[in-house]
Structure 1
């Protein structure tokens, strides 16, 4: 491995995570700042400051993971979520011009998938799919060792015709997202137990043996399995990795998901499939942004 290092930037709706990343996935000088969301100008100024804090002569490139589908041809964020980044700005060229360095950009869930593939749960696989379950449902895929650069908005695959309204600004119905996220779990928990119970408390209740809590998580897992089954039939991965905060539900959700996947996946696709939890935690997006920077450099 060479000694080059890059700056990774994981841009979220509430915080900007930055760090210096090496080719082995090591993170140095990790920093966290609130995301300025008042305007695009404030956001860009905040990003500039976060990068400048880590700049040095040994920095070879910059990589950004952003909460938006990315047009890799134009360097634009096409539909940013929770941040004021408009599609009329060539984000990649703007950052390259500002800092005089090669710049890579990628959807944040794709970046996290990339990191888990190289340094986390997928490091011994050739093909994998990742789903992140948090406030929303994101995802990404690696096919024959290469990151799938399409939108990979897996949370918006339809699993129930005319089903629940989707979350946030999405106007669709029956998408995977409103059935499997921490937000979905909190809603179901509050309907069953009252307003004081959120997704984390729901998981604790299940671990204490509460049958209602276990039934709720079982239902979430079965919907998750329906989505995973479709992804397995499309990508034929060796491995499905589940990340995000709600992955803490563990086998209360994953066991019923595995059961449904065995039923829904084509036999040759699902026979040797493993469904596991992610390993890198909150560092995945940051490390993935660093990998995107190395791609821009190479």
Structure 2
């Protein structure tokens, strides 16, 4: 029987708020290895926001072994729908409508992305 070595695996956690977005690289124990933030409300379109987030996060990805050691991205966001991967009509975000956020993030980062409502994410820890 072989055991899986998770010691090098990490994930990117993102907490989207109406004003600021916080992000961090976490290990398999849930320990935050590195973190940062950007303004959420500085980007009028979700595409501009994701581009800025990528630029801010990319150095962290590089310093932790590029994408090969990343299991994926977890996002907590207002009005996020876990089942569809969308942010729907979030009143405190600058982007309106239903946004296929998980799909856009996966396309930009080249990693699987899961999204959930920020209140649910906060309850989990």
2: CA distance, partners of 1:54 / 1:87? 31
Deviation at 1:61, TM superposition (A): 0.7
Q: Residue 73 of structure 2 corresponds to which residue in structure 1?
A: 62
Q: Residue 105 of structure 1 corresponds to which residue in structure 2?
A: 115
Report if the CA contact (8 A) 1:77-1:86 is conserved: no
CA deviations over 1:78-115 (Å, ceiling 9, x no partner): 12132123334311111111111111111111101111
Map residues 140-155 of structure 1 onto 2, 5 A cutoff.
none
Q: Residue 260 of structure 1 corresponds to which residue in structure 2?
A: none
Q: Residue 94 of structure 2 corresponds to which residue in structure 1?
A: 84
Give structure 2 stretches of 5+ with no counterpart: none
CA 1:28–1:37 in 2, change beyond 3 Å: closer, same or farther? same
Give structure 1 stretches of 5+ with no counterpart: 116-298
2: CA distance, partners of 1:20 / 1:75? 21
1: CA distance, partners of 2:60 / 2:41? 19
Runs of 4+ residues deviating >4 angstroms: none
User: C-alpha root-mean-square deviation of aligned residues, in Å?
Assistant: 1.9
Q: Residue 26 of structure 1 corresponds to which residue in structure 2?
A: 31
Aligned residues: 114
State which of 2, 15, 21 in structure 1 corresponds to 2:6. Answer: 2
Report if the CA contact (8 A) 1:96-1:102 is conserved: yes
State which of 45, 50, 53 in structure 2 corresponds to 1:44. Answer: 50
Map residues 116-265 of structure 1 onto 2, 5 A cutoff.
none
2: CA distance, partners of 1:114 / 1:98? 26
Q: Aligned to 1:113, what secondary structure does the other structure show?
A: helix
Instruction: Give the strand-richer structure, 1 or 2.
Output: 2
2: CA distance, partners of 1:110 / 1:50? 25
Q: TM-score, normalised by structure 2?
A: 0.78
1:114 aligns with 2:100: no
